[in-house]
Structure 1
Amino acid sequence: MKSTGGASEFTVRSNEIDYRGQATMPALVSYMQEAAWSNTQELGMSMYDLLERGLTWVLQRMRIEMFRYPTHNEAITVETWASGRERVFMYRDFRIYTSDRELLGQATSVWLVMDVVKRQLVSVPDFISAMEVVPGREPLPFAKGKLPQLQEPQQEQQMPVRWHDIDLNRHVTNTRYLQWALDTLPLELLEQKQLQKLDIIFKAESILGDTVSSAVAPGNENENLYLHRLTSQESGKELVQAITEWRTLENQQV
């Protein structure tokens, strides 16, 4: 069987926008995950299909670039497709379009399979690995390599894990991690600049009752780059590592 891509339509809702009236990055990531879910369901390898086998999909990494953010009530289409496979890694790409095919943003992602009982990563099951990956278009560069380490945090916040932070896999949902990372940034940065690029790696899970420490600092001498690190206060494990790149709002639609 060959993989095929899918397309899902969304309308930006009022609870998904910032003070500029534009969709937030966590909202956009949620759209992409919903589109991925729909596409994998069509292919017979959705999270529900895996859960029947005691397995589940886990997002390991996502690299996003936004050219323009959609605004409140704007209709968008998220196209997604399996773009490649390497050992235990499954790659999936996304592109976000307006109704007149303006490309708003694009992303590539890396997915793994986890045993829901043992909470351990496992090999991709045969019914998925047997599927021929046919991207249908040029894949985006795979998200690989290490990110620079955050050495000395400039700002830090503690986030208790509560009931509504937990997803179907019974751990903190990745969009909540992203939100916590961005919320720790300086207020003046959030007010004066806009997130252009994001590279985020999800390294470990946290569960109900944990406390997550979110730290951030500028990256090297580039005033538009910030390094992020989320860790578990209970276990000391590094949960998330990310780098964000920002642009000024001059000449941007707001």
Structure 2
Amino acid sequence: MKSRAGESEFTVRSNEIDYRGQATMPALVGYMQEAAWENTANLGISMYDLLERGLTWVLQRMRVEMFRYPAHNDKITVETWASGRERVFLHRDFRIYNQARELLGQATSVWLVMDVVKRQLVSVPDFIMAVEVVPGSEPLPFAKGKLPQLQAVQHEQQIPVRWHDIDLNRHVTNTRYLQWALDTLPLDLLEQNQLQQLDIIFKSESILGDTVTSAAAPATEGENVYLHQLTSQATGKELVQAQTAWRKLES
């Protein structure tokens, strides 16, 4: 069976916007994951299909670039397709369009397969490998390479993991990690700038009852680039590493 691109339509809802009336980055990442779910369901390799075999999808990395943000009540289309494979890494790309078919943003992502009982990553099973990758559009550059390590922490908060932070895999959902990373930034940065680029790596899972430390600091003084790190207080493991780039809003 050959893979094929999918398109999913969404309307930006009031609980998914910021004070400017525009969709938040966690909301946009949520749309992209929902579009990926629909596309994999049509290919017979959705999370539900994997769970029947004791497996599940795990998002390992996502790199997003936004050119313009949709506003409340805007109707958008998310196009997504399987863009390649490298050993155990499965790549998936996204493009976000408005109703006029103008490109608002794009993203590339890396996915792995996990055994839900052993909580260990596994080789890509044959029934997924049987779906031939046929990119629907020109693939974006794969998200590769290391991010700079956060050194001197300037902003930090402690976040307890609660019931509504947990997803179908019984660990903290990745959009919550993203929200926590962004919420740790100083208020003046969030009010006066808009997130232009995001590169986030999900390294380990956190579960109900844990407390997560979210830390951030500028990557280079004078530039609107920040480094982020989320760690588990229970295990000491690094959960998330990220880098964000911000664009100054016009006054």
TM value normalised by structure 2: 0.99
- Where does 1:25-40 land on structure 2 (aligned, <5 Å)? 25-40=25-40
Bigger CA drift: 113-122 or 219-228? 219-228
- Where does 1:100-179 land on structure 2 (aligned, <5 Å)? 100-179=100-179
List alignment gaps of at least 5 residues for structure 1. Answer: none
Task: State yes or no: 1:4 paired with 2:4.
Answer: yes
Deviation of 1:3 (Å) = 0.3
Secondary structure at the residue paired with 2:224?
strand
Aligned counterpart, 1:76: 76
Deviation of 1:221 (Å) = 3.0
Deviations 1:133-164 (A, max 9, x none): 00032100000000000001101000000000
- Structure 2 distance, partners of 1:85, 1:209, is 35
Task: State yes or no: 1:250 paired with 2:246.
Answer: no
Deviations 1:12-44 (A, max 9, x none): 000000000000000000000000000000000
- Where does 1:35-54 land on structure 2 (aligned, <5 Å)? 35-54=35-54
Aligned counterpart, 2:235: 235
- Structure 2 distance, partners of 1:136, 1:234, is 42
Aligned counterpart, 2:17: 17
Secondary structure at the residue paired with 1:223?
coil
- Structure 2 distance, partners of 1:99, 1:65, is 19
- Structure 2 distance, partners of 1:144, 1:110, is 9
TM value normalised by structure 1: 0.98
Aligned counterpart, 1:94: 94
- Structure 2 distance, partners of 1:96, 1:189, is 25
Deviation of 1:222 (Å) = 4.5
- Structure 1 distance, partners of 2:234, 2:51, is 28
Deviations 1:25-72 (A, max 9, x none): 000000000000000000000000000000000000000000000000
Secondary structure at the residue paired with 1:231?
strand
Aligned counterpart, 1:197: 197
Q: Percent identity?
A: 84
Aligned length: 251
Secondary structure at the residue paired with 1:22?
coil
- Structure 2 distance, partners of 1:119, 1:150, is 27
